[in-house]
Amino acid sequence: MKSKLEPLIFSLLVLAVMGVVPNLFAAAQAGYAKFSVLGKYFLIPSVLIMVILIPVIYVRGFHQLAGQIMAGLGGGLLGTLGLEVVRHSGFLLGGMPGELPKLMGVLLLDQFAQGPDIWSNLAGWGYHFWTGAAFGIIYTLLFGKGSIVKGIGYGVLIGIGFMASPAALSLGVGLFGANFGWGFPLTVTLAHVAFGGILGFFVKRKIQQAPNILDRVKTVYSK
């Protein structure tokens, strides 16, 4: 028998699993553990858990929640593509110091001394896009159907968090790119505006109705 509590539990579980993913690289750069270790014990399990969870949620009859998660995942992936168009353009124009996904790849496979190769590049880009998917899933669970404006605001907040995190400091640009010039914060902000705008548009068009996490809490405690 289904209960009103079940969708909330599934939502919180997904938020917990996906909330870990974007913080792994920052945690590694902050010195908590090697990125390769965090990838083994957190990144790979996050993928496996979601591969299991989404069908389980659907089979349990919570089609709206499953659709919500898939919309966030798809919007996050598409948003990351948009982000990359802006980020790579900024890189070519001198607004970015390097290719962060390649750096993440060599650290993820623990081959910093050898440098990047095709496998490390695949690993780095895979993590980059899975992070985008994670942010997309988190967005739709927090905001429900949301809107383009909410998506852009969400993307900008992610960009600010990135520029203030150990992940950005690992590039040697300083806090908010202070050591690199105005091109860095401009590129990062525009890239995340693109991410959030595409995410917000995709989710809004993809799902008709979707309660946010607070709506699910209210449903549990309503008579």
Residues 200-217, mean pLDDT to the nearest whole number: 90
pLDDT for residue 2: 62
Name the nearest CA neighbour of 193 among 84, 77, 93, 83.
83
Give the up-direction half-sphere exposure of residue 7: CA atoms within 13 A in the CB hemisphere: 24
**What is the spatial distance between Cα 93 and Cα 121, in angstroms, rounded to a whole number?**
22
**What is the spatial distance between Cα 88 and Cα 180, in angstroms, rounded to a whole number?**
16
Does residue 93 or residue 39 have the better pLDDT? Answer: 39
Q: What percent of the chain has pLDDT over 70?
A: 99
pLDDT for residue 7: 92
pLDDT for residue 223: 62
Between CA 197 and CA 206, with CA 202 as vertex, the angle to 5 degrees is: 155
pLDDT > 90? residue 154: yes
- Tens of pLDDT, residue by residue over 23-66, are 999 999 888 999 999 999 999 999 999 999 999 999 999 999 99
pLDDT for residue 3: 78
pLDDT > 80? residue 98: no
- Tens of pLDDT, residue by residue over 105-132, are 999 999 987 888 999 999 999 999 999 9
pLDDT > 70? residue 208: yes
